[in-house]
Structures are given as C-alpha cells and as structure tokens.
C-alpha cells in the first residue's frame, strides 16, 4: 500500500499513516478496499452533482437550439447558478436554496435574469427526474412572483401611433452609423424580432423575388419564416449591400465581422434619440399589429407575419408559407404607410 512519495512526504508522516492504516486493518476493515470505496463515492458524488447533471441536460437540450442561445444559457449558468448549486448533490437540493440563489441574483438589479435562472433550473430538475438523478423538482414549488419583485415592462415599451411620424424622422436623421440606422429602418418596415434581424445573413435575402427566408434555427418558435419585401425594403437592402454585402452578415459587429451587432445596438440608438423607456425594437411589432388591425387587415395574415405561429410544430411549419400574396400586399401597404407618416 503506497503511503506517499519521498521527499514530499516525510518518514515521520509515513510512520504515522502506517500506524493508522494498521489500526484500520486490525478493526476488520481492508484499508485498500476502503480507499477504493471512498474514491467510488467521490466519483458518484461528482456525477450526481447539479453541475454534472446540468451538463448532461445542456447536451440534450441544445439540439435544435441556435449556438448563440445555447452559449448565452451556458454563461448564465456559469455566472449565476453554478456558484451556488454546482457542487451540491442534485438529490439534496431543496427549495430554500433556490430561493436564496434567485434573490442573490435579484440583489444585483437583474430581476429578469433571476427569473430565467429559476426557469432554467426547473428544466434541469425535470431532466434529472426523467433520467433518475433526482426524485422531485424543488423549482416547481416556487413561483417567481412569490419570491421576486415585479420587474419593469420597459423592455416592451412602445410609443403611441401618433408619435410614429416624429420617430421615423429621427431615425432618418440618426447621427450614428449608417448600418445601425438601416437596422432601425428595417426593423420598422419588417417588424421582425430583434434577434431575427441582427442575425440576418445575405444568403437568406432574395432581392430579385423580394423575399427574405429566415431559417427555423433562428426563429423563436423554431419554424421557418417568410418576410415578403416591399419596394422600400428592397431599396434599403440594396444600399446596405454596398456597406456589408461582401461579408456573411447584414449587420456585422464593429470589432468582429463574423459576429452580428449586439441585441442592445438598436435599443441604445433609440435611447440616444430620446426614447429611453419609451420605445424598443420590439415596440415596432406592437405598433404594426395595432395599426394593421385598425386598418382592417386580416387578423390571421397579421399573426402569420408576426410569426405568432401555432405551437404545434407540424401546423406551424405548414402555415409559415400561407397567404403570401395578401401578406405581400399588406407589407407593401405598411411600408407606404410609414413613408407617409415620415412626411407628416
């Protein structure tokens, strides 16, 4: 039985260890078997730790998820969850530990992140139960509203329709980069989600047939989406192509052209124009929905263009291409409406 390596372990230390192991043997316990059992217990403890199970969940969950979203989720776990729960045996974690974790995150002023951490933790526990690593989900006992303060809805803020003309003029006169200005204009005309816009690739754009095909991997609902391009949008994209058309992305980052601009680029631009807490990229979607409904456009056509697809994956994949002709007319009307508003 190895008791240490000289000179890192002194002869006196070896004698002491030797005496202890002989006492163990004299008590009827094989010290070598005990060491092996201890190592096995340590290994089992590691494999049943929250972090180990979370890694397995991540490998399972990320199939079909965009790399960007998966990486953001991994970083949130590393920053917020693993420091509190990572080394804990998942079977032993109780609800109060989760409450302490999310309240600690909230104390940093990021209530939304605390809520997401609780939701992700609940997903990991459901995976653990399904695969025999845990018997219950302590996150299921907690409702975010029970332990977290209500968060501001500023991220969904939008101006009133009567304020749209002034907003459009300010976008046209925006003093920042041309790429950011065009991103805001495209957001207004197409009312796609911010992530769908900033991640756009030139391979998705067909200017000749006036069509933008967003693959399912980049859509929130994981179903493909078609944006018919109005004459005004084609003009914007034609100008943008002179700026970024040599690369893969429509909106490459300033420092790394292989990554798109950040989610906050449009939000910060709107803030610089005086719309902090009053307008966001998402706000264009709400404005378009309200105004199109008020002008009598078909509800189903509007919902399809907003990519509010049915939750059923089969019907959603089928529906994404429905009513393209009336949707194209609607999108052209919307661009012309924006043009008129800008001139008011």
Alpha carbon dihedral 120, 223, 325, 303, in 10-degree steps, equals -20
Rounded-to-integer distance, Cα 109 and Cα 325, Å: 47
Rounded-to-integer distance, Cα 64 and Cα 222, Å: 8
User: H or E element: which one contains 225?
Assistant: strand 225-228
Cβ-based neighbours of 14, under 8 Å, separated by 6 or more: 3, 4, 6
Q: What number of other Cβ atoms are within 10 A of residue 48's Cβ?
A: 18
pLDDT in tens, 156-208: 688 999 999 999 999 999 999 999 999 999 999 999 999 999 999 999 999 99
Quote the radius of gyration of the chain (alpha carbons, Å): 28
Residues annotated as catalytic are: 193, 220, 282, 285, 308, 318
Cβ-based neighbours of 13, under 8 Å, separated by 6 or more: 4
Instruction: Give the largest Cα separation in the chain, rounded.
Output: 96
Rounded-to-integer distance, Cα 15 and Cα 24, Å: 14
Rounded-to-integer distance, Cα 167 and Cα 113, Å: 30
Q: What are 28-37's contacts with CB under 8 Å, separation 24+? A: 31/1, 32/1
Per-residue pLDDT of the chain (344 residues; tens, 9 = 90+): 787 788 888 888 888 888 888 887 888 878 777 666 656 645 544 468 999 999 999 999 988 887 878 888 898 899 889 999 999 999 999 999 999 999 988 887 778 788 889 999 999 999 999 999 999 999 998 888 888 887 554 446 889 999 999 999 999 999 999 999 999 999 999 999 999 999 999 999 999 999 999 998 998 877 899 999 999 999 999 999 999 999 999 999 988 999 999 989 999 999 999 999 899 999 999 999 999 998 989 988 998 999 885 545 545 555 677 899 999 999 999 999 999 999 88
Rounded-to-integer distance, Cα 278 and Cα 88, Å: 43
Residue 137 near residue 122 (C-beta atoms within 8 A):
yes
């Amino acid at each position: 039985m190895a008791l240490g390596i000289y000179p890192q372990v002194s002869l006196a230390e070896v004698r002491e260890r030797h005496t202890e192991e002989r006492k163990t043997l004299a008590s009827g316990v094989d010290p070598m078997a005990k060491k092996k059992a201890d190592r096995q217990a340590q290994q089992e403890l590691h494999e049943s730790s929250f972090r180990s199970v979370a890694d397995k969940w991540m490998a399972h969950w990320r199939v079909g998820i965009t790399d960007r979203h998966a990486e953001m989720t991994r970083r949130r776990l590393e920053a917020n969850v693993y420091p509190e729960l990572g080394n804990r045996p998942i079977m032993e974690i109780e609800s109060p530990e989760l409450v302490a974790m999310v309240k600690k995150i909230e104390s940093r002023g990021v209530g939304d992140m605390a809520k997401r951490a609780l939701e992700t933790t609940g997903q990991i526990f459901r995976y653990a139960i399904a695969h025999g690593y845990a018997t219950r989900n302590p996150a299921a006992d907690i409702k975010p509203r029970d332990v977290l303060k209500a968060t501001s809805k500023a991220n969904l803020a939008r101006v009133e329709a009567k304020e749209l003309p002034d907003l459009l003029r300010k976008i046209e006169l925006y003093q920042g980069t041309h790429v950011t200005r065009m991103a805001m204009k495209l957001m207004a005309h197409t009312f796609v989600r911010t992530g769908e816009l900033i991640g756009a690739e030139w391979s998705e754009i067909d200017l000749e047939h006036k069509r933008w095909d967003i693959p399912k991997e980049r859509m929130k609902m994981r179903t493909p989406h078609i944006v018919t391009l109005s004459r005004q949008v084609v003009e914007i994209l034609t100008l943008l192509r002179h700026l970024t058309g040599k690369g893969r992305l429509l909106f490459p980052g300033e420092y790394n052209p292989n990554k798109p601009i950040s989610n906050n680029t449009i939000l910060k631009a709107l803030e610089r124009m005086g719309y902090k807490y009053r307008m966001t990229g998402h706000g264009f979607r709400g404005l378009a929905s309200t105004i199109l409904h008020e002008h009598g456009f078909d509800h189903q056509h509007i919902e399809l263009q907003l990519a509010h697809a049915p939750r059923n994956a089969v019907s959603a994949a089928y529906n994404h291409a429905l009513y393209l002709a009336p949707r194209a007319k609607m999108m052209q009307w919307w661009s012309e409406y924006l043009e008129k508003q800008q001139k008011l």
